[in-house]
Amino acid sequence: MSDSAAIEIKGVTKSFSNGWLGKKQVISNLDFQIRDNEVFGYLGGNGAGKTTTFKLMLDLIRPDKGEIRFWGRSAKDRQARALVGYLPEQPYFYSYLTGAEALGFYASLFDMTGQERKKRVHALLDLVGLAHARNTQLRKYSRGMLQRIGIAQALVNDPKLLILDEPMSGLDPMGRKSMRDIILSCRDQGKTIIFSSHIISDVEMICDRAGILANGEITQIIAMDDAVSSNDDTIREITCHGGTLDLSGIEGQIDGQKNVKHLVRGNRHIISTADKKTADMIMETIRTQGLELVSFSQARKSMEEIYLKSTGQDTKPVAVEQE
Amino acid sequence: MNKVLAIGLNTFKESIRDRIFYSLLFFAVILVFFSIVLGKLTIGDPMKIIKDFGLGAISIGGTLIAIFVGIGMVYKEMEKRTIYIILSKPLARWQFLLGKYLGLSLTILVEVAVMTILLFSLCVAYEQALPWILLTAIGPIYIEILIILAFAVFFSAFSSPFLSGMFTLAIFIIGHFTQDLRLLAKGSQDTVFKALADGAYYILPNLERLNYKTRVVHDLAIPVQELGLSFVYALCYAALILTAAVFVFERRDIP
């Protein structure tokens, strides 16, 4: 096992009872590592097994086989959880407690003195911008405020590792920005962060690497730097202006594996393709048909496309489309 | 132990804000006051009726609260998803369960204390004297409630509130009849019935050992040794059931 890994997941499999139908495997042979001081995005659709993975990490549920370690310590070890801060998806709290009481209660589950607890609660309420609502009962908090109390309780022990389940869900744009800022500032403090999300742009913006989970298996791990610099499958987008653009003449020569999208907006044509040769042929057709070239751009493959391809959802028919 | 106390105090705070607690407390208070009416209507010493009925009300009221709050203890935490954050902290499951149990025990202690004060007030109004002797019955009633609460927690560690409620109620009822059942079985020829009655007697709690109501109301002597043994028996039994609850809860998934 690697010493530098913050989280090491090795051969983890988990199934749940499915009533009379036997058992349903939710996680199968999960195997990956998260490095120290890394922001790791965990992408996957509904039911892919993201929350189950987090619950396995926190020993809320036990794997059928395999093991999980934090800096070499078994996740089953209660003291290993002293290194961890966890924000569940749509966190629920004891609604009769005030913001300060709730954080004080969670702090009391760690080995902190009363004075330390008080200071920590004060600092956290400031950090998440809830100092003004410290004496308000949580039942009166808005969804966004609860999410902020959620991140505050996850930070109550100044953890080395943050596990955040859909931290941006239900937040308005301002809330999402402040959550991103908190995550990035945690990384700057040397913390390791794993968070799940449906929002691919958030993952693109703040992650060092992202793992894509589909049907309980990691299908791909992408380093963001590699995704940015990779030229494979670069999308070429051609915009031209003029009358009718007829691409039927080159359809036979287009590589069947390359997707060409042709959008028509009045006199404007936007054509995109991932294949360089096809792009050259389209440019030539534009020139011969007397249309005016407005722009030609090359865009890197987006996380969304990588995600869709990796989860096998990128199954659009390959054809020249006209809208 | 600090963590257990933190969970306990939080549970206490939660349950005294629970509406069901107040409705049951109200029900128990009504029962205590009903004893006045009954005392007036019945032939004989009205004080004995008031005391007898009042002690019964404390027992039934406390037991019902124990069942209602105990069966939802784990389930409510899971349903409201508050358990995920708690158990993600460096807290052992036994600490969580014990903390919850202690919190609920404190809640019920308050409830029993409120009803006791009411009953004492009634007695003072009639007799102009504080009936301290009633505490000899109320103490064991509370201990009995602790056993019932332990069962409610045990069942709630793995089954739904409805089933847990049914099972716990069954334990409460059978627990008061195991002694009688065994006596009845002794005179029976049916070996299966005998074995069942013996099994129930040895496995289930003998709650009649904690029933001193009649003896207290009728001023019959209660040896301190007997009382002490009953306490030790009941507390050991509650500890055993709680240990079983921890054993089950430690092994289950929190999905």
Pairing of strands A5-17, A217-223: unpaired
Same domain, yes or no: A135 and A251: no
Which residues have a Cβ under 8 Å from the Cβ of A215 and sit 6 or more positions away? A28, A48, A49
Same domain, yes or no: A13 and A148: yes
Q: What is the DSSP letter of A82?
A: G
Q: Quick one: which H or E segment has residue A24?
A: strand A23-35
- pLDDT exceeds 80 at position B3: yes
CA distance B133 to B214: 12
Do B179 and B206 meet the contact criterion of CB atoms below 8 Å apart? Answer: yes
Which has the closest alpha carbon to A170: A144, A134, A136? A144
Q: Do B81 and A82 touch (CB under 8 A)?
A: no
Same domain, yes or no: A265 and A223: no
CA distance B124 to B36: 13
Q: Do A91 and B255 touch (CB under 8 A)?
A: no
Q: What is the DSSP letter of A203?
A: H
**Per mean pLDDT, which of A125-134, A299-308, B208-217 is the most reliable?**
A125-134
Same domain, yes or no: A196 and A248: no
pLDDT of residue B243: 95
- pLDDT exceeds 60 at position A2: no
In the listed set A193, A228, A263, which residue is the last one of a domain according to the structure?
A228
How many residues are present in chain B? 255
Do B238 and B175 meet the contact criterion of CB atoms below 8 Å apart? Answer: no
Q: CA A79, A82, A88 angle in degrees (round to 5)? A: 120
pLDDT of residue B190: 84
- pLDDT exceeds 60 at position B129: yes
Chain A hits for B90, Cβ within 8 Å: 78-82, 109-110
Same domain, yes or no: A16 and A39: yes
* Closest residue of chain A to B79, computed from CA coordinates: A92
Domain that residue A174 falls in: 5-228
A3 to A36, A39, A211: CA distances (angstroms)? 10, 18, 20
In a domain, B203, yes or no: no
Same domain, yes or no: A264 and A174: no
pLDDT, chain B, mean: 87
Q: Do B81 and A153 touch (CB under 8 A)?
A: no
Same domain, yes or no: A70 and A163: yes
Q: Do A86 and B84 touch (CB under 8 A)?
A: yes
B68-77, B83-92, B100-109, B230-239: range with lowest mean pLDDT: B68-77
CA distance B49 to B25: 21
CA distance B12 to B27: 20
pLDDT of residue B13: 86
Chain B hits for A109, Cβ within 8 Å: 3, 6-7, 86, 89-91
Smallest CA–CA distance, residue A109 to chain B, in Å, is 5
Angle, helices B19-41 vs B93-127, to 10°: value is 30
In a domain, A319, yes or no: no
In a domain, B241, yes or no: yes
Return the bridge partners of A16, or none.
Answer: A24
Which tens digits make up the pLDDT trace of A245-295? 888 877 777 665 557 888 888 888 888 887 888 888 889 899 988 889 988
Same domain, yes or no: A179 and A215: yes
Chain A hits for B103, Cβ within 8 Å: none
Which tens digits make up the pLDDT trace of B221-242? 888 899 999 999 999 999 999 9
In a domain, B191, yes or no: no
Same domain, yes or no: A255 and A221: no
pLDDT of residue B240: 95
CA distance A37 to A299: 30
Q: Do A58 and B81 touch (CB under 8 A)?
A: no
In a domain, A107, yes or no: yes
- The answer to whether B235 contacts chain A (CB < 8 Å) is no
Tokens representing A214 are 């589909």
- pLDDT band with cut points at 50, 70 and 90 for residue A86: very high
Do B62 and B108 meet the contact criterion of CB atoms below 8 Å apart? Answer: yes
Q: How many structural domains compose chain B?
A: 1
Same domain, yes or no: A73 and A96: yes
Question: What integer is the mean pLDDT of A26-41?
Answer: 91
CA distance A88 to B192: 53
Interface test with B, best of A94, A138, A162 (most B CBs within 10 A): A94
In the listed set A228, A260, A281, which residue is the last one of a domain according to the structure?
A228
Interface test with A, best of B10, B82, B89, B107 (most A CBs within 10 A): B89
Return the bridge partners of B151, or none.
Answer: none
What single letter denotes the amino acid at residue A120? R
Largest CA distance in chain A: 80
- pLDDT exceeds 70 at position A147: yes
In a domain, B199, yes or no: no
Q: Report the residue from A79, A88, A94 with minimal CB separation from B14.
A: A94
pLDDT of residue A275: 80
CATH number assigned to the domain comprising residue A63: 3.40.50.300
Q: Report the residue from A97, A110, A163 with minimal CB separation from B89.
A: A110
Domain that residue B105 falls in: 2-176+211-251
Question: Which residue's structure tokens are 């080159």?
Answer: A250
Q: Report the residue from A61, A84, A157 with minimal CB separation from B255.
A: A61
Question: What integer is the mean pLDDT of A108-134?
Answer: 92
Query: Which is higher by pLDDT, A41 or A202?
Result: A41
pLDDT of residue A301: 60
- pLDDT exceeds 90 at position B181: no
- pLDDT exceeds 50 at position B173: yes
Quick one: CA torsion of B130, B134, B135, B138, rounded to 10 degrees?
Answer: -140
Do A49 and A213 meet the contact criterion of CB atoms below 8 Å apart? Answer: yes
- The answer to whether B89 contacts chain A (CB < 8 Å) is yes
CA distance A261 to A317: 11
pLDDT of residue B140: 93
Buried b (16+ CB within 10 A) or exposed e, A294-303: eeeeeebbeb
In a domain, A83, yes or no: yes
- The answer to whether B19 contacts chain A (CB < 8 Å) is no
Query: Which is higher by pLDDT, B103 or A173?
Result: B103
Q: What secondary structure does DSSP assign to A93-122, as a single string?
A: --TTSBHHHHHHHHHTTSS--HHHHHHHHH
pLDDT of residue A321: 42
Strand order in the sheet with A23-35: A23-35, A5-17, A65-70, A73-74
User: Does the predicted interface ipTM exceed a cut of 0.85?
Assistant: no
Chain B hits for A58, Cβ within 8 Å: 84, 87-88
A2-6, A9-13, A313-317, B60-64: range with lowest mean pLDDT: A313-317
pLDDT of residue B150: 95
**Per mean pLDDT, which of A131-145, A201-215, B177-191 is the most reliable?**
A131-145
pTM for the structure as a whole: 0.81
- The answer to whether B13 contacts chain A (CB < 8 Å) is yes
Q: Do B92 and A78 touch (CB under 8 A)?
A: yes
A85-89, A161-165, A222-226, A245-249: range with lowest mean pLDDT: A222-226
In a domain, B193, yes or no: no
Q: Do B85 and A94 touch (CB under 8 A)?
A: no
In a domain, A282, yes or no: yes
Torsion sign across C-alpha atoms A151, A155, A160, A163: negative
Q: How many structural domains compose chain A?
A: 2
- The answer to whether A283 contacts chain B (CB < 8 Å) is no
Which tens digits make up the pLDDT trace of A194-231? 999 877 777 888 888 989 888 888 888 888 776 655 54
In the listed set A182, A198, A228, which residue is the last one of a domain according to the structure?
A228
- The answer to whether B76 contacts chain A (CB < 8 Å) is no
B121 to A221, B33, B58, B130, B132: CA distances (angstroms)? 72, 11, 14, 8, 12
In a domain, B188, yes or no: no
Q: Do B14 and A86 touch (CB under 8 A)?
A: no
CATH number assigned to the domain comprising residue A292: 3.30.70
- The answer to whether A70 contacts chain B (CB < 8 Å) is no
- pLDDT exceeds 90 at position B142: yes
pLDDT of residue B154: 93
pLDDT of residue B21: 66
Q: CA A233, A234, A239 angle in degrees (round to 5)? A: 130
pLDDT, chain A, mean: 84
In a domain, B185, yes or no: no
Q: Do A94 and B84 touch (CB under 8 A)?
A: no
CA distance B118 to B116: 5
Which tens digits make up the pLDDT trace of B22-52? 776 776 677 667 777 777 777 777 788 888 8
Smallest CA–CA distance, residue A214 to chain B, in Å, is 20
Chain B hits for A105, Cβ within 8 Å: 6, 10
- pLDDT exceeds 90 at position B8: yes
Do A262 and A240 meet the contact criterion of CB atoms below 8 Å apart? Answer: no
**Per mean pLDDT, which of A310-314, B45-49, B156-160 is the most reliable?**
B156-160
In a domain, B195, yes or no: no
Question: Which residue's structure tokens are 């959008």?
Answer: A263
Which has the closest alpha carbon to A138: B10, B228, B1? B10
CA distance A107 to B91: 12
